[in-house]
Structures are given as structure tokens and as C-alpha cells.
Amino acid sequence: QAQLVESGGGLVQPGGSLRLSCVASGSIFRFAAMAWYRQAPGKQREMVSYITWGGDTTYADSVKGRFTISRDNAKRMVFLQMNNLKPEDSAVYYCNAPSNLDSWGQGTQVIVSF
């Protein structure tokens, strides 16, 4: 059964950092590009960052220079290092393969607030 498990969210003050982690089942992860998405209350889910199997990355303009995506193919894991967090980064964050958008994990909540 395909599975995605995200972790690492929490409450952080503006300017702070968090590192999100995601473990994916082999049926999703193997040879696949992976991405981090986020969904804030009342808003549509959006892609934050994308990484190919080989490690090429792209970022949404809103997070460029602050977030870094990486992956460990041997462990089937994807990471999102988030620095200089802003209140507008508050959302539930999900990882997924763009080829697997019919199935999602539970996500991990990030709250950026004083």
C-alpha cells in the first residue's frame, strides 16, 4: 500500500527554522520526482518545492532562498529545510510525488507566530 508519512512541523517564531521529513513507500518514491506542498486554511494546496530523482530542484518564488529540499534515495526520504520562516508560511505541509496526487499523507502542521 502506498504510504507517505510527514513529520517535523511545529510552532516557531518568525525568523526561526524547521526541518520537515517525509518517508515514502517504495511504490511512490522509486525513481520518482518528489515535492513538498502546503495548504493554508481557506487556500488551495500549492507546490512549494520539487526535486528530481537525480537531485535537481525548483522552488516557488515565495520560498526561494529560504527553503531547501533534499532527498535520501536509500532511505526513501525527502526533507525540507525551512529558514527565516514567516507567518505566511503557516500551513499543513505534505510531501508527495507529482505522479501520485490521488493519495496523500496526513501532513505536518507548521505555525509561524509569536
User: Which residues, in sequence order, are bridge partners of residue 77?
Assistant: 23, 72
3-class DSSP assignment, residue 28: helix
Query: Is the separation of the CB atoms in 112 and 87 below 8 Å?
Result: yes
Distance of alpha carbon 65 from alpha carbon 57, whole angstroms: 12
Residue 26 DSSP SS3 = helix
Nearest-CA neighbor of 26 among 49, 3, 50? 3
Helix (H) or strand (E) holding 51: strand 46-51
For residue 79, the SS3 value is strand
Specify which residues 78 forms β-bridges with.
22, 71
Distance CA 89, CA 101 (A): 22
Q: Model confidence over 53-87: pLDDT tens digits?
A: 999 999 999 999 999 999 999 999 999 999 999 99
**pLDDT band for position 27 (cuts 50, 70, 90):** confident
Share of the chain above pLDDT 70, in %: 98
Strand, coil or helix: 89: helix
